[in-house]
Amino acid sequence: MFIRTVKARGKKGEQHEYLRLVENYRENDRTRQRVVISLGRKDLLAPHLDSLVRVLGGEGPDSEWVQATEVKPEEAACWGVVLVARHLWQELGLDDILDACEGKKRRAGASFSERAFVLVVNRLCSPGSEHHLANWLETDYVCDRNGQRWLPLWEEHGRVQVNLTWLQRWYRTLDKLIESKEGIEQSLYLKLRDLFSLKAELVFYDLTSTYFEGAGPPGLGHHGYSRDSKPHNEQVQIGVVMVNGWPIAHHVFPGNWREFDTVKGVLDDLEKRFGLGRVVFVGDRGMVTTDNLEMLRERHQGYLVGLQRRRREDIYQLIGKATGTWQECPLPAGARATGNSTLVQEVSGDQPGVRVFVVHSEERLAYERAMRERSMERTGKALEKLEGRVAGGKLKAPEKIGAAAAQILSRNHGHRYFGWEVKEGKFRYFEHSNLEREKAYEGKYLIQTEEQGLSPVEAVAAYKELSEVERAFRCLKDVIEMRPIYHRDDGRVQGHIFVAVLAFLLKRALEKKLKAAGSHLSGEAALDALRTIHVVRMQVGTERRQGVTGGSSRAREVLEAVGITATLPPQVL
């Protein structure tokens, strides 16, 4: 049956639409139609449409149907990121690991694991201070394993707008995290090893820094080499250890420590906490010192390190030895072809057993050549102007001419490309004799190891994986916004950093899921897409209902990659 609309004129000539209930039936193998009932004028029936549908459907007076005006949306809260983060959190066993930290001393209320999860997923969704956490809990749907939603407690105390007891709960969670750090990382490594068959043959380590607003804590906050270009801010150093692309440990050092000073403590920790025997330590150029290499030999550990191009006089000679046959390095699995190749060849080192690989990257060559040409152009124009000032008599004193030239050459690495002289009152600049050396460096980097069973191509592939650690730092500092830090207590600073590292762990798990599913979405793009999934609460008649929006096509792609089918919060599943 179906409803048919017909038009007819009334007695006064006005035109109306009438509704008829029509039925299809078969007669003599032919389909025919007949009017079951004439329902009346469409404009008069419109206000009673819901009742008419219930009657035609055979429903009684207790039907669940309600008027459209009785459906009122109340709230829509972001849910996608929390949904996926919870799934990954449980898959990695973090619920059990953190619950075990409480043992039999667990107090009433939310568990340590649940509180830590809130802080970690906040880093992924909307990084901010513990004060900002209250605002985020009102825009995102964050609940515990039983579906109980977390909500802030507002209470004004001067600049602090939330209940102090509620706020202290999160500070105590940071304290508990750092108190349990060593055990959590150790248990997490064992879980990752079992889940993903980690083989700790290559251990990647790198160091970065992040700064404080104002004075830092007394133990960790110091001035040092700033990778954030904030030399006037006190800072703290963070080292991350990764195996097979997974962060398994992190270390926090005072801000004035140098990179190579941290290596011994990291190796001691790997041996003591993780029981790692002989591994190949992969580190960046700042890790290389004679003492560190000797320490690795004494421990019978392998190493694979980059060499500083300009701090060693023999680098230019080693590059000059690369006159043999170059081997092409294949692209990593899943990487997109760019048309730029990477070549490598081994050259003889100065010490017995030490192997050196010279690597030529076409992509790096194009970048470094363009940077050098731009620097030379800028510096050349500035020196030309200085030459004109001297020739015009606007600058005469040799010491002032020298100071102006030195200032120009200090910018854009100009001292690498140009030299100058003042003779008989005339200023002259020229290309530096080191320019040919600088051109030889372009596109090249060198790797040193004593691993005899490692081929040149394998050495390049392993060293490139160190970029995973560098990307981890960019993620920690930019995406998850570990910086800047406002805490003034050493323990709270370490807890803040631990939260950021755990958030990065979840993001790495998400990226690996996406890659395994063949998705080209990055971790950042996936998190953005997931914010299109919302929990919607609405009033339907006299009842309150809850549902979840489908999200964008990219959000559904992420859910499929992660393996999530049920999207409703736990209490309505």
Start-end of CATH 3.30.420 domains in the chain: 184-309+453-489
Structure tokens at 481: 């916004």
List of the chain residues with pLDDT < 50 = 479-480, 573
- Identify any residues that bridge with 5 across adjacent strands, giving them in sequence order: 19
The C-alpha atoms of residue 250 and residue 269 are separated, in whole angstroms, by: 10
Range 184-309+453-489 has CATH code 2.40.50: no
Of 538, 542, 540, 480, which is closest to residue 508 (Cα–Cα)? 480
Cβ distance 241 to 287 under 8 Å? Answer: no
Place of tokens 């009742």: 51
Q: Which residues of 112-131 are buried (b: 16+ CB within 10 A; e: fewer)?
A: bbbbbbbbbbbbbbbbeebe
Cβ distance 77 to 65 under 8 Å? Answer: no
Per-residue pLDDT, 482: 59
Share of the chain residues as helix, strand and coil, in percent rounded to the nearest 5? 45, 25, 30
Per-residue pLDDT, 479: 45
Of 416, 407, 357, which is closest to residue 383 (Cα–Cα)? 407
Indicate the helix (H) or strand (E) that contains 355: strand 355-361
The C-alpha atoms of residue 118 and residue 342 are separated, in whole angstroms, by: 44
Contacts of 7 (CB under 8 A, 6+ apart): 15, 16, 17, 18
Cβ distance 230 to 211 under 8 Å? Answer: yes
237 alpha-carbon distance from chain centroid: 19
Model pTM? 0.77
Positive or negative, the Cα torsion across 314, 319, 325, 328?
positive
> Helix, strand or coil for residue 346?
strand
Per-residue pLDDT, 334: 57
The C-alpha atoms of residue 413 and residue 415 are separated, in whole angstroms, by: 5
For the segment 495-548, what is each residue's pLDDT rounded down to a tens digit? 989 998 999 999 999 999 999 999 999 888 999 999 999 999 888 877 888 889
Q: What is the DSSP letter of 47?
A: G
Cβ distance 480 to 123 under 8 Å? Answer: yes
